[in-house]
């Protein structure tokens, strides 16, 4: 469990939690999250172009049993410090479905995790944990009801570090 805690602490931080933000669409979302991440020293100036291009070519919208989500990311060359940003917008943001085509119905993402993982092997582990968390309806309900950054991080940490999502 201690190893999981180190991984959690490496990626999740209060300044990376954006709740009840009014970002209207993916263009607005990518612009604002890139600005915030660059200002925080997490990404290079090239991140915005890289993440928007990657999303066009490899969409990240994901419909789970209980929620629409998205897990956008860019190649590690654009990352300065490892991170996972958590975004819970006021209104869902439409993302193209993972593995789909641009003509497919959009996923209405109510929670978004932007991955800034620098090692590919670690990215697979992080994605597995996030997928486990996203499939847990109780955790999703808690995340949607959480009222501040600390509460959101506590819920994620409890789920992220539990044996069930490893």
Question: pLDDT by residue (tens digit) across 89-132?
Answer: 999 999 999 988 767 899 999 999 999 987 766 777 788 888 88
Model's pTM, two decimal places? 0.90
Mean residue pLDDT across the chain: 88
**The predicted structure's pLDDT at residue 126:** 80
79/38 Cα distance (integer angstroms): 9
Place of tokens 């479905």: 97
**The predicted structure's pLDDT at residue 128:** 84
**The predicted structure's pLDDT at residue 102:** 67
Q: Which of 77, 59, 76 is nearest to 68 (CA)?
A: 59
Place of tokens 């789909």: 100
Q: For residue 79, how far is the Cα from the chain centroid?
A: 15
Structure tokens at 43: 């990404």
């Amino acid at each position: 469990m201690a190893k999981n805690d180190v991984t959690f602490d490496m990626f999740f931080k209060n300044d990376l939690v954006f709740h009840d933000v009014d970002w209207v669409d993916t263009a607005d979302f990518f612009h604002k999250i890139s600005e915030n991440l660059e200002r925080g020293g997490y990404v290079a100036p090239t991140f915005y172009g890289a993440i928007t291009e990657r999303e066009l070519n490899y969409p990240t919208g994901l419909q789970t049993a209980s929620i629409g989500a998205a897990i956008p990311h860019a190649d590690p060359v654009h990352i300065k410090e490892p991170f996972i940003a958590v975004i819970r917008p006021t209104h869902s943001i439409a993302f193209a479905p993972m593995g789909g085509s641009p003509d497919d119905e959009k996923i209405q993402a109510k929670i978004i995790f932007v991955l800034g993982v620098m090692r590919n092997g670690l990215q697979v582990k992080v994605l597995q944990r996030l997928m486990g968390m996203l499939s847990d309806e109780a955790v999703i309900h808690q995340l949607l009801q959480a009222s501040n950054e600390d509460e959101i991080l506590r819920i994620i940490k409890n789920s992220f570090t539990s044996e069930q999502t490893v």
